Amino acid sequence: MTQGKVDALLGIVFGDEGKGKVVDFFTPQYDVVARFAGGPNAGHTIIFEGKKFVLRSIPSGIFDENKVNIIGNGCVIAPDLFMKEAHELEAAGYVLTERLHISRRAHLILPTHRVLDRAYEAAKGKNAVGTTGKGIGPTYSDKAARIGLRVGDIEEDFMAKYERLKARHLQILADMHFADFDIAAEEQEWLQGVEYMRKFRLSDTETEIHAYLAEGKSVLAEGAQGSLLDIDHGTYPYVSSSSTTSGGVCTGLGVGPGHIGRVYGIFKAYSTRVGSGPFPVELFDETGDELRRIGHEYGAVTGRNRRCGWIDLVALKYAIMINGVTDLVMMKSDVLDTFPVIRVCTAYEKDGVQTTAMPYDTEGWQAVYTELPGWQTPLTELRSEEQFPKAFADYIAYLERELQTPIKIISVGPDREATILM
């Protein structure tokens, strides 16, 4: 925690690194937790005291009743899904309205944005991105085209603005001859969601955050997705549509680079990816199936199989570089407990040429591996570094040496308790 600063916690690979768990673990140290990018394409899992929650738009600091949670201006929000998510938390006894603040500058995902998401994917055929179908791309496109609706728009003359943008979307769908939708039912719930959002503090969260910082309070910026899904730095065009990297913290919350404290980069002890796009470390064999089975690698939002492979140092070095990562957090170490040999991708190779720098396009590159001995010891019950088996301590030391960045937290199980500070 850095007083008077914004610390960032960023997924630095393809998402689903375990951000929700670590944000929840960190929350007691911070005054404010803020999401700065993405929307309900995220699925952040938090497990404690035998309970499990999956959050999409609401920050993972919400379980600590004394903390302010912010959905920042860089986010996109679907009122109906937001209402559903909030109702689940309310049913579990959490009171949200006072301590969950929403930026008036965040953009609204309309039901027709979701239809457009499907239509664009269908039109791409075999080149489809494999999106989550939540309307993320079309909403950020409208934002960039300067025709989007913002949360602040619900405060005045909203229906006219809504109907105008909806009509525009319906025209595009008609032009595409895409008729496979019926938004009537969805629209009703969506409008109820808009009403529900009015209960919350819709504020200029950028100014609010600066007031906290001026008081010396600390803010944790919760990343969504991962660096390789970033619109600029990811494996374009197989990316999401927001800035998921540390630069996105500045634009997505309205803070300057000087306000950023630590940048935590979170990754798994192996690799996964959901959706399409190149993935040089992908395993199509039994080892890949084992990683998926042991790691329960099925999407928290869509239930899709996550593609699995060994850890990728080319990707990690690149992500550390573009984010300015100061500290690393390694998750799901326990998933490797049973493997006699652990492989690590140290370079990519194509047409006899090797590289350790992230290529412009990773399509067609093969992973080059080195091997380390596995620890073959269950890690989940361990609570301190001194208890680590030697082969696991060696794996950590090897990664730190290669990545030139300290690993400050190790996660050995999904529960809040299974977290070790180094």
Binding site for Mg ion (CB under 5 A): 16, 43, 300
Q: Where are the beta strands (DSSP E) in 256-375?
A: 260-268, 271-273, 307-309, 311-312, 327-331, 341-350, 353-355, 366-373
Tell me how many degrees the CA angle 69-74-79 measures, rounded to the nearest 5: 70
State yes or no: residue 291 binds ligand GDP (CB under 6 A).
no
Closest residue by Cα to residue 282 from 3, 11, 14: 14
DSSP-assigned letters across all residues of 184-241: HHHHHHHHHHHHHHTTSEEE-HHHHHHHHHHTT--EEEE--S-GGG-TTTSSTTSS-S
Instruction: Give the whole-angstrom CA distance, residue 232 versus residue 387.
Output: 41
Annotation marks residue 80 as catalytic: no
CB of 225 to ligand IMO, least distance (A): 4
CB of 264 to ligand GDP, least distance (A): 12
Joined tokens for residue 85:
């998510």
What does the per-residue mask of binding to ligand GDP show for 125-164, with x meaning CB under 6 A? Answer: ----------------------------------------
Residue 21 binds which entry of ligand IMO, ligand GDP, Mg ion, none, CB below 5-8 Å type-dependent: ligand GDP
- Number of residues near ligand GDP (by CB under 6 A): 23
Residue 18 binds which entry of Mg ion, ligand IMO, ligand GDP, none, CB below 5-8 Å type-dependent: ligand GDP
Q: Which CB, 93 or 303, lies closer to Mg ion?
A: 303
From the list 7, 16, 31, 334, the catalytic residue is: 16
State yes or no: residue 61 binds ligand GDP (CB under 6 A).
no
Instruction: Give the whole-angstrom CA distance, residue 24 versus residue 414.
Output: 12
Q: Which CB, 111 or 265, lies closer to ligand GDP?
A: 265
Residue 132 binds which entry of ligand IMO, ligand GDP, Mg ion, none, CB below 5-8 Å type-dependent: ligand IMO
Provide the residue count of the chain: 422
Closest residue by Cα to residue 208 from 217, 198, 196, 199: 217
Question: How far lies 62's CA from each of 92, 400, 414, in Å?
Answer: 12, 32, 18
Annotation marks residue 177 as catalytic: no
CB of 89 to ligand GDP, least distance (A): 16
State yes or no: residue 40 binds ligand GDP (CB under 6 A).
no
State yes or no: residue 414 binds ligand GDP (CB under 6 A).
yes
State yes or no: residue 41 binds ligand GDP (CB under 6 A).
no
Between β-strands 68-71 and 100-103, what pairing exists: parallel, antiparallel or unpaired?
A: parallel
Burial status of residue 153 (CB atoms within 10 A of its CB: 0-12, 13-18, 19 or more): middle
Residue 331 binds which entry of Mg ion, ligand IMO, ligand GDP, none, CB below 5-8 Å type-dependent: ligand GDP
DSSP-assigned letters across all residues of 85-118: HHHHHHHTT---TTTEEEETTSEEPPHHHHHHHH
Work out which of 34, 37, 40, 45 binds ligand GDP, going by CB under 6 A: 45
Q: Which CB, 163 or 363, lies closer to ligand IMO?
A: 363
- Residues interacting with ligand IMO, by CB under 6 A? 11, 14-16, 41-44, 129-132, 134, 136-137, 224-226, 229, 240-241, 274-275
Q: Which CB, 330 or 382, lies closer to ligand IMO?
A: 330
CB of 421 to ligand GDP, least distance (A): 14
Q: How far apart are the first and last CA of the chain?
A: 15
CB of 222 to ligand IMO, least distance (A): 9
CB of 328 to ligand GDP, least distance (A): 14
DSSP-assigned letters across all residues of 132-162: -SSSHHHHHHHHHTT---BGGGGGSSHHHHH
CB of 231 to ligand IMO, least distance (A): 10
CB of 17 to Mg ion, least distance (A): 8
Residue 297, sorted as left (phi over 0), alpha (psi -120 to 50) or beta, turns out to be beta
State yes or no: residue 332 binds ligand GDP (CB under 6 A).
yes
From the list 24, 31, 44, 259, the catalytic residue is: 44
The dihedral sign for the CA sequence 44, 242, 178, 149: positive
State yes or no: residue 85 binds ligand GDP (CB under 6 A).
no
Q: Which CB, 41 or 323, lies closer to ligand IMO?
A: 41
Closest residue by Cα to residue 375 from 338, 324, 419, 416: 338
What does the per-residue mask of binding to ligand GDP show for 19-38, with x meaning CB under 6 A? Answer: xxx-----------------
State yes or no: residue 300 binds ligand GDP (CB under 6 A).
yes
Decide if 96 contacts 89 (C-beta within 8 A).
yes
Please identify every residue annotated as catalytic. Answer: 16, 44
